[in-house]
Amino acid sequence: MSDTIEHIGSGSVIQHGKLNDRVYLMKLKKEDLPAVMQRLEELTRQERYTKLFCKVPGSLAPRFLEEGFIREGEIPRFYHGEEDALFLSRFNDPARLADRPEEELVRFRQLLSKPLKQYDQSEKWEDYHVRQLVKDDAEQIAKIYAQVFESYPFPIYDPAYIVKMMEEDVQYFGAFRDDQLAALSSAEIDFDTLSAEMTDFATDKEHTGHSLSCLLLRTMEEAMQRQGIQTLFTIARLASIPMNKTFLRFGYQYSGTFINNTQISGRIESMNLLYKHI
C-alpha cells in the first residue's frame, strides 16, 4: 500500500497512492508545468483519487486556481528566500472537503488563542543525548516507527527503506538514554530550495513524558543552520496538540490546515502547516 513516487521532466516530483487516496505534487519546475498538469488529470481519471495536493511556486499558482484548486496554506519566501510556496488542493470528491474535523479545529484554535511560553534554550536533559543516526541504526529506527505509527504511506518499518532515505538527503536524529534509542525524528532536506521538512517524530513508549521532541527539534535546527538551510517547516497532525505546541514554542508560524490530507495512525487526518526562517 506504499505510495508511488514519479519524476517528471527536469525535476518535478509527484507522490500518489490509494492509502492517502491522494496525489501530492511535492516539487514543481516551471518548464514541467504542462506535463505535470496532464499527469494530474490522468491520475484523476485512472485512479479516481479524491484529492490533489500541490506545493507550487506562487508565480505558477494561477494555472492551478483556474483548474478549481483552492489555497490551503503558504510559506513566504520559500524558494531561495524570494518566492512564496503555495499549497493548493482540489477535492475531486466534495465529501472529503465537507467532512471537516470541527472538534479538532476548535481545540487547535484554542491553542492559538493562548499565549505560549517560548522554548528555553537553556533547558537540559541530563539523562539523554542526541546524535545524527547512521545506517547501522536503521533497525532501531524501523522498530520505533512500527511501534508508533499504525499506518504510514511509506514502508518506514523496513530498515532497507530507512537506509535508502539516508542516501537521499533525509537526515535522522535520535535521542538516546545510555545505548537505547528513545526517540527520533528526521529532516527531509531540499538543497535546491534550501529548505527542510522537520518530520516523523516518534518516541518509544517507555520514554514518553520527557519532552524529547523539544530536544530533537533543537538539535535538528542547529544542524540545519550549519548546513545553510534557510527555511524549516513541518506538516503536523491537527489532532496532535502536543506536537503543534512544540513547534509554536520554537517560534514556528501557523499558516494553514490541509483538510483530510494524510493517512497516518490508521485514518486520514487533517494536517497543519507551520514554518520558520532561520
pLDDT at 40: 97
In this structure, what C-alpha cell is assigned to residue 276?
520558520
Contacts of 81 (CB under 8 A, 6+ apart): 194, 230, 231, 277
Q: How many CB atoms lie within 10 A of CB 226?
A: 8
pLDDT at 121 over 90: no
Contacts of 215 (CB under 8 A, 6+ apart): 125, 128, 130, 175, 183
What is the Cα 130 distance to its own chain's centre? 21
pLDDT at 235 over 90: yes
What is the Cα 165 distance to its own chain's centre? 15
| Three-class DSSP category at 80 | coil
Alpha-carbon span 43 to 268, nearest angstrom? 20
Alpha-carbon span 182 to 179, nearest angstrom? 9
pLDDT at 47: 96
pLDDT at 93: 96
Beta-bridged to residue 83, according to DSSP, are: 79
Residues 160-179: tens digit of each pLDDT: 999 999 999 999 999 999 98
Q: How many CB atoms lie within 10 A of CB 189?
A: 19
Cα–Cα distances in Å, from 9 out to 44, 52, 59, 237, 266?
Answer: 20, 19, 19, 32, 34
pLDDT classification of 122: cutoffs 50, 70, 90 = low
pLDDT at 1 over 80: no
Percent of the chain with pLDDT over 70: 99
Alpha-carbon span 238 to 269, nearest angstrom? 7
Q: Which is it for the CA torsion 222, 225, 227, 232, positive or negative?
A: positive
pLDDT (mean) for 34-56: 97
pLDDT (mean) for 257-266: 91
pLDDT at 129: 93
Q: How would you label 29-38 residue by residue, b for 16+ Cβ within 10 Å and e otherwise?
A: beebbeebbe
Q: How many CB atoms lie within 10 A of CB 198?
A: 27
134: nearest Cα among 163, 100, 176: 163
User: Residue 153 has what DSSP assignment?
Assistant: S
pLDDT at 265: 74
Three-state DSSP string of 7-28: EECCCEEEEEECCCCEEEEEEC
pTM of the prediction? 0.92
Lowest mean pLDDT: which of 7-11, 146-150, 194-198, 223-227?
A: 146-150
Q: How many CB atoms lie within 10 A of CB 222?
A: 11
What domains are there in the chain, each with its CATH number?
A: 4-98 (3.40.630.30), 129-277 (3.40.630.30)
Alpha-carbon span 152 to 15, nearest angstrom? 13
pLDDT (mean) for 249-254: 95
In this structure, what C-alpha cell is assigned to residue 233?
517547516
pLDDT at 96: 96
Q: Where does residue 81 fall: left (phi above 0), alpha (psi -120 to 50 degrees), or beta otherwise?
A: left
Residues 54-105: tens digit of each pLDDT: 999 999 999 999 999 999 999 999 998 899 999 999 999 999 999 999 999 9
